[in-house]
Structure 1
Amino acid sequence: MIVITGPTGNIGRHLLPLLLESAPAAGEELRVVVRDPARLPDAVREHVEVVIGSHGDAGTVDRAFEGANAVFWLVPPDASLSPEDAYCGFTRPAAKALAAHGVGHVVGVSALGRGTPVADRAGLVTASLAMDDLIAGTGVAYRALANPSFFENLLEEADSIREKGVFTDTVDADRKTPLVAVADIAAVAAGLLLDRSWSGTDGVPVLGPQDLSPNDLARVMTKQFGRPVRYERQTLDDLHTTLVGYGLNETFVRGIVDMKRAKDDGLDTGVARTPDTASPSTFEQWCARTLRPAVLS
């Protein structure tokens, strides 16, 4: 039995079809934890067991992990909490349930940065790494998917790109860093969940095929959209003011700002890209498939 949390989110909606395609041949049953089962496609609900509730709730994870061999663990973003509560606080009931039910393997969504000089002051990433330690401390075999920023973050900029030809971030315009498509993360997760010949605790970097700067992204988008697109760098103070203005928890906002600062200080560049850490989807491919329709719709 494989349990999937966050099955309707950015990564989960790519992961679930991969598991549905391959799990039956491997003799695996699937169970999903979801607040609203109506968000699952009809074809999915017919082939999975559904546990309704939040996977941050002790009763829900106790039901979900009973008889489970493996769990895909993803913490949903909750900007009403502090980073520690959003990651470790949310995960503590699951950690207890993993140990209580003797779950053997867990694959979790985490972040790059462990071992870098800025890892202990990287806001949300620091909290994510602490979550990894919490899960590993239960004694399960654990693989933390160590991810950089996602291509999909640019979807939040679709309106600005369409209307102004501008996207923003806080990093230097020429700083090249790894970026990844969520579909590639899902593919790595599926492989680990279906082939559980691994043991112990480790991180699994998923780095995309190449490092890219904001100016590189702008050049690709300009070509793809047939119109100029440029990058504007936002100050960390302006980011803080904007996010607080949206009503986000002040401590969570500070976690975002600290993460952004750490990324500009090299948080995501501590792992070398190799055939094992590279993933296949290029920004050009993702842009044509996903961002271009969103911008030009």
Structure 2
Amino acid sequence: MITITTPTGDIGRQVLDRVLDSGEAARVIVRDPSRLPKQVRAKAEVVEGSHAEPATIAKALEGADRLFWLVPPPGFRDAGPARRYYIDFTRAAAREAASRGVRMVHVTSLGRGYQGAAGLLSAALDMDELIESTGVQDRALALPFFMENLLRQVQSITEQGVFSMANTPDQPLLTVATRDVAATAADLLLDTTWSGQARVPLVSPDILTPRAMAEIISQTLGRTVRYQEVPLTDCRARMVQSGASPTLAQDMADMVNAQNNGIYDAEPHNPTSTAATGFREWCQDVLKPIVHS
């Protein structure tokens, strides 16, 4: 039995589809079961609740031998320190999995070894240490910037021909497509031969700056799209003005600052870490159909 968290999220949904297609028994944890497609409710066991709750995770792991773990983003308005959020959310699951002999596949950040504050990325790396401390058998998917983050800017790309972030225009930013994350996670969940603890870095085959990404987007869409850098101070202020807690806004700013300082290069990644999807392919397969819809 494979227990899957965040089954309505971008990555969790894709992991669940792959597991169900394999014929393996699956169980999902979800706050609102009505958000699950009918075909999923027909095939998978459903445990209602939050996977941060000890009672919910204990119920969801009963009789299971594998767990896909992903911590959802912190609440926009009431977020406290990211580290506390990640650790508190994960503590019960890691201990429960270890005590039951459940193997974990979990999503985290690339960048172990980075010296400095990295906001949400530091929190994810601290979560890894917590998971490892329990002795649970685990594979940590160490990931850089998601290509899908750019989908939040489809309106700006379509209407204004621009996408903007606080990342330095000419600083390489490692990326990965969520479909590659899901494929790797599903493969590990379905593979019953591995044991112990290990990190699995996963990055796209091309290394691009935000400015180079804009060029590829322009070529793919057949129209000019430029990259616009937003100062970190402005980015933080806009988040607070939009209702984010000051703590979350600072954690986000620290994360981008770490990306600008090369956090993803702090952790070794080699040809075995290369994901299947390049940025140009992702633009063609994912971004272009959405822009043109």
Smaller-chain TM-score range? Answer: over 0.9
The reply to whether residue 12 of structure 1 matches residue 8 of structure 2 is: no
Q: Secondary structure at the match of 2:142?
A: strand
Corresponding pairs, count: 290
Residue 103 of structure 1: CA displacement? 3.2
Contact 2:94-2:136 within 8 A present in 1 as well: no
What is the SS of the residue equivalent to 1:76?
A: coil
Contact 1:3–1:70 under 8 Å retained in 2: yes
Decide whether the 8 Å contact of 2:66 with 2:103 is kept in 1. Answer: yes
Instruction: Identify unmatched segments of 5+ residues in structure 1.
Output: none
Q: Match of 2:148, as an amino acid?
A: E
The AA in structure 1 aligned to 2:7 is: P
Matches within 5 A, 1:23-102: 24=23, 28-79=24-75, 80-82=78-80, 83-100=82-99, 102=100
Letter in 1 for 2:192: R
Mapped partners of 1:46, 1:75: distance in 2: 25
Q: Distance in 1 between matches of 2:193 and 2:251?
A: 36
Aligned-pair distance for 1:30? 0.9
Q: Does 1:267 align with 2:266?
A: no
For 2:106, which of 102, 105, 108 is the aligned residue? Answer: 108
**Aligned residue number for residue 164 of structure 1:** 160
CA contact (8 A) 2:112 2:267 kept: no
2:264 maps to a residue whose letter is D
Alpha-carbon distance in 2 for matches of 1:18, 1:203:
22
Which residue identity lines up with residue 16 of structure 2 in the other structure?
L
SS at match of 1:78: coil
Normalising to structure 2: TM-score of the pair? Answer: 0.95
Give yes or no for contact 1:177–1:269 (8 Å, CA) kept in 2. no
- Does the 8 Å CA contact 2:202/2:275 hold for their aligned counterparts? yes
What CA distance in whole angstroms lies between the structure 2 residues aligned with 1:117 and 1:217? 27
Deviations 1:245-266 (A, max 9, x none): 1211211211111010011001
Q: Secondary structure at the match of 1:144?
A: strand
Correspondent of 1:193 among 189, 193, 206: 189
Q: Secondary structure at the match of 1:247?
A: coil
Query: Structure 2, unaligned stretches of length 5 or more?
Result: none
Partner letter of residue 183 of structure 2? A
CA-to-partner distance for each residue in 1:256-277, whole Å, 9 max, x for gaps? 1101001100101234553310
Partner Cα distance (2:115, 2:195) in 1: 28
Give, in whole Å, the separation in 1 of the partners of 2:109 and 2:257: 15
For the 8 Å contact 1:4–1:30, the answer to whether it is kept is yes
Counterparts of 2:245 and 2:193 in 1: how far apart (Å)?
Answer: 41
2:21 corresponds to which residue? 21
Q: Contact (CA 8 Å) 1:180, 1:279: kept in 2 or not?
A: yes
**How far apart are the structure 1 equivalents of 2:95 and 2:278?**
39
Q: Distance in 1 between matches of 2:159 and 2:28?
A: 39
Contact kept, 8 Å, 1:68 with 1:103, in 2: the verdict is no
Kept in 2: contact 1:77–1:86 (CA 8 A): no
**Structure 1 moving runs of 4+ over 4 Å:** none
> For residue 245 of structure 1, what is the aligned residue in structure 2?
241
Does 1:256 find its partner at 2:252?
A: yes
How far, CA to CA, are the matches of 2:25 and 2:19 in structure 1? 9
Equivalent residue for 2:280? 284
Cα distance in structure 2, aligned partners of 1:267 and 1:109:
17
SS of structure 1 residue aligned to 2:179: helix
The more displaced of 268-277 and 70-79 is 268-277
CA deviations over 1:128-177 (Å, ceiling 9, x no partner): 01111112222211111100000100011111111111111112211122
Q: Give the CA deviation at 1:6.
A: 0.5
- SS of residue paired to 1:212: coil
Cα RMSD (Å): 1.4
- From 140, 144, 152, the equivalent of 2:140 is 144
Structure 1 counterpart of 2:43, which letter?
H
Report the CA distance between 1:188 and its aligned residue.
Answer: 0.7
Structure-1 residue corresponding to 2:170:
174
